[in-house]
Structure 1
Amino acid sequence: MQFSLAHLSDLHLPPPAEAMSMRDRNLKSVLAKLSWHRKRKRIYTLHPAAALLADIAAQAPDHIALTGDITNFGHPAEFVAARRYLQQIGAPHDLSVVPGNHDRTVPLPWQDSLEQWQDWMCSDAEEAVLSEGGFPFLRRRGDLAIIGVDSAILTPVFKAYGEIGMTQMHRLAELLEATGRQGLFRAVLIHHPPTMSLGGERKALRDRAALCAVLAQHGAELMISGHHHITRLDGVQGPSYRIPSFGVPAALASKARPEWAGWHLHRIERVESGWHLTSALRRYNPIRNVFEPGGEWSFRLPVRTDAMTW
């Protein structure tokens, strides 16, 4: 079995005009719009967008994962516009999405916000009972289990931390255990990384210790996240080996803040001893307006000893 998974994050799509009103009563939204006008609109543009879609098509991944921050202010018009862009990236069967903190900047009814992306954020019909609906969702593509976790919560001004919560954490443990016993390759999608990174507690996952405890007991084969706009590889301790945990650059960063745009391509192969994972960075070249190879990592991951035979 061979499978490839594309990972992109933090699109920060340029907002439509109707999202730019400065008459908000929400201070966090106003400050986010000031930040957009002051600097972010020169960093996150659609200039790399055509090159990104062309490069993804050329690499022909079997599935695409998008780990949040698709919008900037969480305005209703942004969710509608983002839905149109998601349709360009991939059909709901071929693309899985989890939200980021920018997608929950202000309190909005579900129907005015994330419902627009529901088709890309739901479990397969046959897995819905196991996942109990909502997050975490579970999608199975061959021997790949895609588990989407929601870490995006409303936060005070100048804060961008995340939290999974005990209800999700309990369901995540059950999903990891069930899919592990089935001998599947488990890829967990989350916006906030499971380990401390840039920005300290102000931007960290608040219940990362509880998440790491779940992973230490039940395991996973791959963790992928966004949030910090950098290529980053960490190891999270599993039951018998360290789980590769990848952060990825912002997919549409047309200036190096802190990196140029990029995305990751994970190639998964089932071998006699378990799994062979090859992870590659596709880095944006602004001069040529193309994405190019930018580095590669390789891992051998054993299959669970109590997994179903194959």
Structure 2
Amino acid sequence: MFRLAHISDIHLSPLPALTLRELISKRITGYINWRSNRKGSMTGGTLDTLIADLEAQKPDHIAVTGDLVNLALDEELETAQRWLKTLGDPANVSVVPGNHDAYVPGALKKTRRYWAPWMRGDREAAADRPVEFPYLRIRGDVALVGVSSARATAPFMATGDIRERQAGKLGEILDETGKLGLFRVIMIHHPPVRGAAPSHKRLLGIGLFQRTVRKHGAELVLHGHTHLATRHEIDGPDWRIPVVCVPSASQSFGGNHRPPAAFNLFSIAKTNTGWSCHMVERGIVDEQMTIRTIREHDLTVGAVLNPVL
């Protein structure tokens, strides 16, 4: 049994002080949005409470699907680096970036440098190479595949993208891990499902992503971005692949129309007939920040493939 926890959209607070130079960019719109919409509803206390409960569940691995910061300021990236160190050893925590982590041109390059230990695949880490996407980490019977949809966008836009180069490598990784008989988990920030996000926040390349997994296969896709608890499905080669989102890990109870902070816990195991994957949603349920199990599901996932020896 492999227990995988999933959190997303951390949006670490508070914001550091901004210089006038930093505000003369897209960051001015993000700063206004933070002051008007997120400052009071996304708090560190909420995040701390949620993570304490997550750690009590003793997961084998934690997947973090982006938006650790707000405006991708250098000070924010350093703060997120320190926070990741408290979350867990890089070998046990896998991160992909979100649009806020690539908020302005040049930010994603810095993000990859600051958070490299949590974003490098096994081969890159062993060879001390820079971060590459998609990356592959193998833990037990589980293949964790990190895809980056993060990119800098114009003001009032929060789109992401996946292009041919990354999709091609993703297909190769899915083939390789499929032949090994592994349970393949794809981590991406933007939802790879049509209609899951408004047009100015959507993933560009949804069709390309879906064609790739339909051809090469996967067992589970995890994403963030919408701050909602949703489940969709997309086509695999011979089965439907669950696509799961989790609310923001720092959303306070009653802070706005979105659900309060939660995490998902997946218990993954091989069976005589294929895979079993039991999903538990745990989150804040009241103003006292009580955390309980909200829902449980048995996900239908793809069949086990015989490994190539």
Give the structure-1-normalised TM-score: 0.93
Counterpart of 2:261 in structure 1 is 261
Deviations 1:24-56 (A, max 9, x none): 354311110011111211111112122112111
Matched residues in 2 for 1:103 and 1:192: separation? 13
Mapped contact 1:3–1:268 kept (Cα < 8 A): yes
Structure 1 residue 47 corresponds to structure 2 residue 17: no
Matched residues in 1 for 2:178 and 2:65: separation? 22
Deviations 1:199-256 (A, max 9, x none): 4221111101010001111110000000000000000100011001001100110124
Mapped contact 1:190–1:224 kept (Cα < 8 A): yes
Counterpart of 2:204 in structure 1 is 206
Query: Cα distance, 1:195 vs. partner?
Result: 0.3
Counterpart of 2:233 in structure 1 is 235
Query: Cα distance, 1:108 vs. partner?
Result: 2.4
Mapped contact 1:15–1:72 kept (Cα < 8 A): no
Structure 1 residue 290 corresponds to structure 2 residue 309: no
Deviations 1:145-168 (A, max 9, x none): 000000001111111111111111
Matched residues in 1 for 2:119 and 2:276: separation? 27
Amino-acid identity (%): 36
Deviations 1:75-120 (A, max 9, x none): 1110000111111111101100000001111122666433110000
Q: How many residues align?
A: 306
Residues 1:76 and 1:301: Cα distance change in structure 2 (over 3 Å): same
Matched residues in 2 for 1:247 and 1:175: separation? 23
The gaps in structure 1 that reach 5 residues or longer are none
The residue matched to 2:90 in structure 1 has which SS?
A: coil
The residue matched to 1:36 in structure 2 has which SS?
A: helix
The gaps in structure 2 that reach 5 residues or longer are none
Residues 1:31 and 1:302: Cα distance change in structure 2 (over 3 Å): closer
Matched residues in 2 for 1:245 and 1:89: separation? 24
> What value does the CA root-mean-square deviation take over the aligned residues?
2.1
Query: Cα distance, 1:127 vs. partner?
Result: 8.4
Counterpart of 2:4 in structure 1 is 5
Mapped contact 1:136–1:148 kept (Cα < 8 A): yes
Mapped contact 1:274–1:300 kept (Cα < 8 A): no
The residue matched to 1:146 in structure 2 has which SS?
A: strand
Matched residues in 1 for 2:205 and 2:302: separation? 27
Residues 1:165 and 1:132: Cα distance change in structure 2 (over 3 Å): farther
Deviations 1:135-189 (A, max 9, x none): 1010000110000000001111111111111111100000001100110000000
The residue matched to 1:173 in structure 2 has which SS?
A: helix
The residue matched to 1:246 in structure 2 has which SS?
A: strand
Query: Cα distance, 1:22 vs. partner?
Result: 4.4
Matched residues in 1 for 2:216 and 2:160: separation? 22
Query: Cα distance, 1:58 vs. partner?
Result: 1.1
The amino acid across from 2:5 in the alignment is: A
Residues 1:215 and 1:4: Cα distance change in structure 2 (over 3 Å): same
The amino acid across from 1:263 in the alignment is: F
